[in-house]
Structure 1
Amino acid sequence: MNLLLIRLIIFAVLFFAGLKLYSMYREWKLNRDNLVEGDSQPADSKMVLCSWCKVHVPEPDALREKGEWFCCSAHRDKYLEEKKDD
């Protein structure tokens, strides 16, 4: 009787460990698939340099003002303010 109970406990532990591993695998696979799908930038997308912070940004995401490229409107405004003061 004791041996049957021990076997049942071992089986239950292995079963729940297998379920946990399977759920971890499914979550990993979903995250990996979402990363691949989320990478919607074309491979040949040109990168431009933000004139304020010097960070490279994909051209479709960048802002252009007076021949200069910017990563966001805040950096564009700061750059133009600084340029106006000069």
Structure 2
Amino acid sequence: MGLFRVLFWIALIAAAFWLWRRFTRSRSTTSTSRPQAEPMVRCAHCHVHLPQHLALQQDDQWFCSQAHLEQARHDQ
């Protein structure tokens, strides 16, 4: 009878631990949302893709650096 009580308490503690881990893990994954993907643009000079917030815009063209922007101005 004593062995049955020990096994019962071990099973109960294991089930409680499993439930606690399951609920704490699911809450932490749902609270952290993935960041939104930024729009990417292509440099009109070298065709490198970069995030839009890092690019320089002139008219409807995007450039990866000030040098490429100036080269495009000189080529026109």
Question: Following TM superposition, by how much is the alpha carbon of 1:50 offset from its aligned partner in structure 2, in angstroms?
Answer: 0.1
Question: Following TM superposition, by how much is the alpha carbon of 1:43 offset from its aligned partner in structure 2, in angstroms?
Answer: 4.2
Tell me the TM-score normalized by structure 1.
0.46
RMSD value, Cα: 1.1
* Structure 1 residue ranges (4+ consecutive) displaced by more than 2 angstroms after TM superposition: none
Amino-acid identity (%): 36
Unaligned runs of 5+ in 2: 1-34
Tell me the TM-score normalized by structure 2.
0.52
State how 1:28-43 maps to structure 2 within 5 Å: 42-43=35-36
Structure with max Cα Rg: 2
Unaligned runs of 5+ in 1: 1-41
Higher-helix-fraction structure: 1
Q: Which residue of structure 1 lines up, in the alignment, with residue 48 of structure 2?
A: 55
Query: Which secondary structure does the structure 2 equivalent of 1:57 belong to?
Result: strand
Question: Following TM superposition, by how much is the alpha carbon of 1:67 offset from its aligned partner in structure 2, in angstroms?
Answer: 1.3
